[in-house]
Amino acid sequence: MWQTERVDLDAYFARIGASASSSLAELHEAHVRAIPFENIDVMLGLVPSLDLGDIQDKMLRRRRGGYCYEHQLLFTAVLERLGYAVARRMSRVMTGPRTHMMSIVDDHLVDVGFGAGMLHPMPLADGAVVDQAGWSHRLRREGGRWVLEKESADGWQLQHAFEPDVDQQPVDYLAANHYVATHERSPFSRQLVVMRLEPGVSRRLVGSRFTVEHAGSEPENSQVKNLAKTLESLDITLTARDLGHIGSLPGTSPGART
């Protein structure tokens, strides 16, 4: 059902710089640090394929990134091939619809596809706080659901919330993926989004605004002047045709083209 047998473990480990002997926490961090979060296919007018073969071609061979479904479907398939028991779930981001894919593995929230968010798994323990690359995150129980929060200067801010025992099927992600890629109210259908997370630093490109944030410091914002160079700094290289198309979109600086 989840195409786990199709995973190319050698190509995956080569991409993230880990091995089959790496721990869950090591795999999680290596994946997030190696593979960008991005919605470039959506900006090219495509609905990203959730076929595992297509995801591997995109992320492992063409060295692109993707958004939550692509990241999580690849990562959870790898984990199952390594013998982990994986529960695939869906969560509600902020106050929006339930569209975010995450998973539960060994009583931990595993979430490699939440943008510049989680570097490490979060234990499913009420009140658990984990340092995520310099930003504290907390899980707390609220009735029948778990709530993930991020600490800011204004207190704890909701990230997403999920019910731990609600099973998902592949068709659930297909429907959510179509909504996220095409609906006018989806944040990923309207503007370019690319995010990277490493220890102590978060980098985000949203539309034509590039933000670099170091843990404990105020974000540094700038307008993109050269889209190709900005994307390369986020480890993404596009063809001239794709770059030209994205550079012509509303919200992306026309001067950002090569």
pLDDT digit string, tens, across residues 176-185? 999 999 999 9
Does the predicted TM-score (pTM) go above 0.85?
Answer: yes
Average confidence score pLDDT of the chain: 95
Q: What is the mean pLDDT of residues 68-86?
A: 98
Contacts of 124 (CB under 8 A, 6+ apart): 104, 107, 108, 109, 139, 146, 164
Q: What is the pLDDT of residue 253?
A: 57
pLDDT digit string, tens, across residues 14-67? 999 999 999 999 999 999 999 999 999 999 999 999 999 999 999 999 999 999
pLDDT digit string, tens, across residues 143-191? 999 999 999 989 999 999 999 999 999 999 999 999 999 999 999 999 9
Q: What is the CATH number of the domain that holds 166?
A: 3.30.2140.20
> What is the rounded CA–CA span in Å between residue 5 and residue 18?
19
Q: What residues make up the domain containing 47?
A: 4-256
Number of domains within the chain: 1
Structure-token pair, residue 131: 């340092």
Q: What is the mean pLDDT of residues 201-228?
A: 96
Angle between helices 9-16 and 68-81 (to 10 degrees): 120
